[in-house]
Structure 1
C-alpha cells in the first residue's frame, strides 16, 4: 500500500490534470475559445469536429478525476490518456504549420501529464510487485 502523502499527491495530480484536460469542452458553448488554438471563424464541419473533440477531452478529464478516487482503474485510464496526448503531440510536431500555431502551454501541459502518468503507472506496478513479494514471503 502506498504511503498517505504519496496517495494524496497522486489524487491531487489526477484531479488537476483532469480539470485542465476537460477545458476544451467549452468550445461547445463558447466557440470563440478555439481562438486559443489559432482557429478563427472555422468552417461548420471543422467547428463540429472540434466541438466533438471537446467532448472527448471532457471524458478523458472526467476519467482522470474518477481515477483519483479509484486506484483500481488508474492503469487503464492513465494508459489511454498517455496514448491520446502522445498522438496529439506527435501529430502537432509532425506538421510544421500546426506546430507554428500550437500553444506552448498546452504542449508543455500534455508532456507534463504524460510524465506524471508514467510515474503513477510505475509506482502502481512497483507497489503491486512489492505486495506480491510480501505475499510470497508469507506463504513460504
Structure 2
C-alpha cells in the first residue's frame, strides 16, 4: 500500500538520514584519522585498522541499502531487516561490557536504538498493510 504523500516523504527523509549516518564509518577508508574520532583508536595495529576499515565498507553498503530503500519500496523490508540485525548485533556486543560501553559515544547508542525502533515499525506497517490488500491475478484485474 502506498503511503500518503506526507508520510511517504517522511519515510524517505528518515531512510536517507539513517543511511547517510550509518554509512559514515566508511570515511575510515579515506582517512584513518576517522578511527580516532569515531572509535577513540589512535594508533591501531595493521589488523585492527584493516578490520575497522572493512567494517566501514560494510557500513557503507548497509547505508547505501537504506538510501536505496527510500526510493525503491520493495527494498524497504530487506534493507530494514539487515540494518536491524546489524545494529542489534553491534549493541549486544558492546553494551554488556562496562569498559566498552564507556567508550561508546552516546549518539551511537541513541541513533542505533532509534533506527531499530523506527525500522521495525516500518516493517510491521508495511507487512500488515500488504497483507490486508487482496492479491488479484492478472486475469482478475482485467475483468
TM norm structure 1? 0.91
Select the residue among 51, 54, 57 that pairs with 2:56. 54
Provide the secondary structure at the position in 2 that maps to 1:22.
helix
Q: Residue 91 of structure 1 corresponds to which residue in structure 2?
A: 93
In 1, distance between residues paired with 2:6 and 2:124?
17
Higher helix share: 1
Cα deviation for residue 80 of structure 1 reads: 0.8
Structure 1: unaligned runs, 5 residues or longer: none
In 2, distance between residues paired with 1:17 and 1:59?
12
The within-5 A match list for 1:104-119 is: 104-119=106-121
In 2, distance between residues paired with 1:110 and 1:63?
16
TM norm structure 2? 0.89
| RMSD of aligned Cα (Å) | 1.7
Q: Residue 34 of structure 2 corresponds to which residue in structure 1?
A: 33
May I ask how many residue pairs the two structures share in their alignment? 136
Q: Residue 130 of structure 1 corresponds to which residue in structure 2?
A: 132
Structure 2: unaligned runs, 5 residues or longer: none
In 1, distance between residues paired with 2:41 and 2:100?
11
Provide the secondary structure at the position in 1 that maps to 2:79.
helix
Provide the secondary structure at the position in 1 that maps to 2:42.
coil
Provide the secondary structure at the position in 1 that maps to 2:43.
coil
Q: Residue 11 of structure 1 corresponds to which residue in structure 2?
A: 12
